[in-house]
Structure 1
Amino acid sequence: MKIAVLISGASGSILSKRLIEVLNDNHELFVVASDEAKWIFKQETEEEFDEFIRKKKCKVFKNSDFSSPLASGSFKIDAGIIIPCSVKTLSAVACGYASNLITRCADVCIKEKRKLIMVVRETPLSPIHLENMLKLSKIGVVILPPMLTFYNKPKNLEDAVDFVIGKLLDQLNLHNNLFKRWE
């Protein structure tokens, strides 16, 4: 699959890091990270984003690069994933405000009827956040907040992260064994 991994400035860098690790070998990845996301990545993982991504096979674009193929509907991708997705980015996408490559790529996914998954990171959620999520869900966007689960008896943070990434891969119809399924 050709997948755009779009990383906005919200807590949850471990989610985007794990998604890229899982998909890197078998899929064509196009990665865009905001400046805020790169700063948060360093704070949360103690690793420089550019160092991490340099070791991967991804194609990386600056968030300001509107000449990127991701900015055009004629460039075919199978899915766009905003992970983590800040409520600022959620709001921009819900209003069609494509002011950077992350929100433009999301806008393209919506207008071209391509899979768009938004891993929204915020708690508690305000009525505005909920209305924006409902608005996007009604047009087919998958809203996938990184919710904790306990039936799989997670033993550590990695188990919890793998559960979220596994659920995300399920939305892409990609087989995975990242979490114990309900029997």
Structure 2
Amino acid sequence: MNLKRLYQAWLERLVLIITVATFVVWPFTCISDTLFKVSDYSFCKHTVNNQPIGSYDDSSSIDVRVGEELCLWLEIYVTRMGLIYLQSHHSLPVYAIWGKDGWLNGGMHDIGIKPENWIKQQDGILTKSRKSNDSGFTWRTRTKKKIISSGKYYVSILDANRKSVSEGEDGINVCRPGIQIKVINR
């Protein structure tokens, strides 16, 4: 009789451990994995059909008129964990924060996959991810900023947890594209 109670208590604890692991721990491990990486970016004048138009060479200073918009075009690679996040939340936040000369000078805004994008493009996204070797897919987006003064402009890219995102295949470097701007009065 005692052995039966011990076995019953052991089974109840095992079920509790499995339940906690499944519903409490596992979702957080999915979120802590990389949801996406920045595979390409370009500072440009604007975008058409999700392609950069009038790209700038970000290794040199560029001349811009006061009030002109500067656009940062991004191509992100959404990983399998990002797809799982997207399917469960119907969105995938990609946060952008503009900065200038080492100071943040704009609010954080979401340039990622919004619920309305997911609803419209769900079938295409799922088809792309099924054809991919690692269940990932690419997504193109952009962020814009009106230029009012000269300086070194940069954009910090953050994930759903508001953590810095890596760029490239190795995933080592933090993605913080920057460009030197010289304002001209013509």
Fold in common (TM above 0.5) = no
Structure with the higher fraction of residues in strand conformation: 2
Q: Which has the higher contact order (CA 8 A, sep 6+)?
A: 2
Q: When the two structures are superposed, what TM-score results if normalisation uses the length of structure 1?
A: 0.23
TM-score by length of 2: 0.23
Report the structure, 1 or 2, having the larger helix content: 1
Tell me which structure has the larger Cα radius of gyration.
2
